[in-house]
Amino acid sequence: MDNKKLKILIADDEDGLRLSMAGIIEMEGHEVITAINGYEAVECAKQNSFDIAFLDIKMPGINGVETFKQIKQFSPETIVVMMTAYAVQHLIKEAISEGAYACISKPFDMDKIMETIKEVAKKPFVVVIEDDPALCETLSQKFKEQGFNPVTRSSGVEGIELIQRKIPDVIFLDATDDGKNALETYKKMKETLGNNCPKVILLGNDPEDPVISEIKKLGAVEFMQKPLNAEYLKKIIGKDKKLKVFIVDDDKTLCESLKNVLESEGYDVDTAFSGREALKKMDSGAFETVILDVRLPDVNGLEIYEKIKSVHPGLGVIFISGFSQNDSVDNTIMNKNTYTYLHKPFNPESLIKMLENIKEARTNK
């Protein structure tokens, strides 16, 4: 799926950056449409379903965050990455809280842009058609934790409108209450998408319901009985997916050693050797857990922790240190940390166990 060609929107009032960025991305085979301001970006998104949109935060007219909010109303399937050359922490925080995938600081390395595009290409697009808001929220959260791009809709009509914009990889379709509505929705899906209709999983109370049987005969592949079984749901959405881990330590040998160990276990790992490098990468990376050295040469771990948590409050952090556990900075951090602390030298197996505990805690939320 990482070789999939995407449709991409770039909105930036800086001509040189916008055009050069578009040219490089097009050379990789992706389709690119550009906009010079937020208003133009919104109009482009009304006419096209984009896989990813790169939006400059500071643009004339409406800023990138307001542009994102408007695009999200009618194009929820689009994954949005914010770009900025300014210290606009309040706008970055607002964008992340609204669901932006990442925020990249200018000037940026185009390799990082291409890496972000590859990450998005790997995300399965999942549509949940369900009128129970609580269940929608639960499914959406669990799908996001597994690296999917979920969108929920409360009715068959809304669901059909969405899949006409972009064909999902899988659809979860509610078939409780009046199952005939689900039957009509499924028939409309088949009529609309034909042979391109994706895998459809039915959600319902009674597996013996004749309507369920009829929909399955038409092509629906599975049935999940409510209330949903947590273990089966994990299996459906990829329970074995590993976390994306960010290691921050000025000991390059330790970083590379941990990176090799974790990658051999299937984790997606990036590294930084200073506090400033870590903060820059945190702006542009969608990490799930940070392994953070308490003492760095330029910025201490506590400052890094506070800045990370201000923008990514749900991020898991594991602190590591070679200093005494009676150290005042270490004690302050240990009192704040959501997860845990490792004293150097430590067994990599202990770190892997902690990462698995973090993943399990998130999955079982």
CATH number at residue 135: 3.40.50.2300
The type of residue at 250 is D
Say yes or no: 249 and 344 in one domain. yes
Say yes or no: 155 and 229 in one domain. yes
Q: Which of 190, 213, 237 is the last residue of a domain?
A: 237
pLDDT confidence tier of residue 358, bands split at 50, 70 and 90: confident
Mean pLDDT in the chain? 84
Q: What is the pLDDT of residues 307-328, one digit of tens each?
A: 877 777 778 889 898 865 555 5
Q: Please report the pLDDT score of residue 62 as a whole number.
A: 92
Q: In whole angstroms, give the CA distance from residue 75 to residue 41.
A: 12
Q: Which of 187, 213, 237 is the last residue of a domain?
A: 237
Determine the longest span between alpha carbons in the chain, in angstroms: 68
Say yes or no: 110 and 175 in one domain. no
| Cβ within 8 Å of residue 12, ≥6 positions away | 18, 21, 34, 36, 54, 55, 56, 59, 83
Q: Please report the pLDDT score of residue 1 as a whole number.
A: 43
Helix, strand, or coil (residue 146) = coil
- Confirm if 200 and 219 have CB atoms less than 8 A apart: yes
Q: What percent of the chain has pLDDT over 90?
A: 39
Total structural domains within the chain: 3
Q: DSSP H helical segments within 265-344, as ranges? A: 275-284, 301-311, 328-336
Say yes or no: 162 and 115 in one domain. no
With respect to residue 141, please indicate whether it lies within any of the assigned structural domains.
yes
Q: At what angle do helices 348-363 and 252-264 cross, to 10 degrees?
A: 60
Q: 46-55, 202-211, 268-277, 307-316: which has the highest mean pLDDT?
A: 46-55
With respect to residue 1, please indicate whether it lies within any of the assigned structural domains.
no
Q: In whole angstroms, give the CA distance from residue 193 to residue 68.
A: 28
Q: Please report the pLDDT score of residue 87 as a whole number.
A: 60
Q: Are strands 102-105 and 125-129 parallel, antiparallel or unpaired?
A: unpaired
Q: In whole angstroms, give the CA distance from residue 202 to residue 175.
A: 6
Q: What is the pLDDT of residues 213-253, one digit of tens each?
A: 899 888 887 888 888 776 666 666 654 556 789 999 999 99
- Confirm if 184 and 192 have CB atoms less than 8 A apart: no
- Tokens linked to 287: 């990490």
Say yes or no: 87 and 104 in one domain. yes
Say yes or no: 194 and 219 in one domain. yes
Q: Please report the pLDDT score of residue 37 as a whole number.
A: 95
Q: In whole angstroms, give the CA distance from residue 95 to residue 100.
A: 5
Q: Which of 208, 237, 266 is the last residue of a domain?
A: 237
Q: Please report the pLDDT score of residue 325 as a whole number.
A: 53
pLDDT confidence tier of residue 333, bands split at 50, 70 and 90: low
Q: Please state the pTM of the whole predicted model.
A: 0.66
Residue 95 confidence (pLDDT) above 70: yes
**E strand map for the chain:** 7-11, 31-35, 52-56, 79-84, 102-105, 125-129, 149-153, 170-174, 199-204, 222-225, 244-248, 268-272, 289-293, 316-321, 340-343
Candidates 90, 197, 93, 76; CA nearest to 144 is 76
Q: What is the pLDDT of residues 104-126, one digit of tens each?
A: 888 888 888 898 898 888 888 99
With respect to residue 2, please indicate whether it lies within any of the assigned structural domains.
no
Q: Left, alpha or beta for 35 (phi > 0: left; psi -120 to 50: alpha)?
A: beta
pLDDT confidence tier of residue 340, bands split at 50, 70 and 90: confident
Q: 48-57, 98-107, 337-346: which has the highest mean pLDDT?
A: 48-57
